[in-house]
Amino acid sequence: MKPWQTRTAKDSAIVTVGMGLSTIFGALSIFAIARFLGPADFGLYVTALAIAVIVTDSLELAISGSIVKFASRADERAAGFIKYGFYLKLILGLGLGLVFWFLSRPLANLLSPELIKPLAVAAWFIPVLFLSRFPRSLLQASRQFLKDTSLEAGTSLFRLLAVIGFYLTGRLTVSSALAAFLLGALVTFLIGSLMVSWKFLKAPITTDTRNHFFSFQKWMTLAYVVAAIHGRIDNPLVLRLSSPETSGLYQAAYRFFMPALQLAAALSLVFAPRFASFPDLKTSREYMFKASRLTLALGLLVLTIIPFARRLVNLIFGADYAGSILPVQILSLGFVAFVAGAPFVAYLIYAANQTKLFLLVNLLQLVLLVSLDFALVPKLGAIGAATATSTTLITVNLLMAALALLDVKKKN
Q: How many CA atoms lie within 13 A of 227 on its CB side?
A: 21
d(Cα 356, Cα 221) in Å, to the nearest integer? 10
Residue 4 confidence (pLDDT) above 60: no
Domain that holds residue 313: 3-411
Among the residue ranges 13-22, 76-85, 110-119, 176-185, the one predicted with the least confidence is 13-22
Say which residue, 220 or 392, is predicted with more confidence: 392
377, 302 contact by CB (below 8 A) = no
Q: Evaluate whether 250 touches 50 at the Cβ level (below 8 Å).
A: no
Dist CA 298 CA 12 (whole Å): 13
Q: What is the 3 state secondary structure string of the chain? A: CCHHHHHHHHHHHHHHHHHHHHHHHHHHHHHHHHHHHCHHHHHHHHHHHHHHHHHHHHHHHHHHHHHHHHHCCCCCCHHHHHHHHHHHHHHHHHHHHHHHHHHHHHHHHHHCHHHHHHHHHHCCHHHHHHHHHHHHHHHHHCCCHHHHHHHHHHHHHHHHHHHHHHHHCCCCCHHHHHHHHHHHHHHHHHHHHHHCCCHHHHCCCCHHHHHHHHHHHHHHHHHHHHHHHHHHCHHHHHHHHCCHHHHHHHHHHHHCCHHHHHHHHHHHHHHHHHHHHCCCHHHHHHHHHHHHHHHHHHHHHHHHHHHHHHHHHHHHCCHHHHHHHHHHHHHHHHHHHHHHCHHHHHHHHHHCCCHHHHHHHHHHHHHHHHHHHHHHHHHHCHHHHHHHHHHHHHHHHHHHHHHHHHHHHHHC
- pLDDT tens-place string over residues 210-245: 777 766 656 666 666 776 776 778 888 898 898 899
* Cα–Cα distance, 329 to 323 (Å, whole number): 12
Look at residue 119 and tell me whether its pLDDT is greater than 50: yes
Whether 193 shows a pLDDT value over 70: the answer reads yes
The domain tally of the chain equals: 1
Does residue 306 carry a pLDDT above 70?
A: yes
Cβ proximity of 254 and 331 under 8 Å: yes
Cα separation, 362 vs 180, whole angstroms: 31
For 163, left (φ over 0), alpha (ψ -120 to 50), or beta? alpha
- The mean of the pLDDT values for the chain is 83
What does the CA dihedral 192, 194, 199, 205 come to, rounded to 10 degrees? 30
Span 139-159, average pLDDT: 81
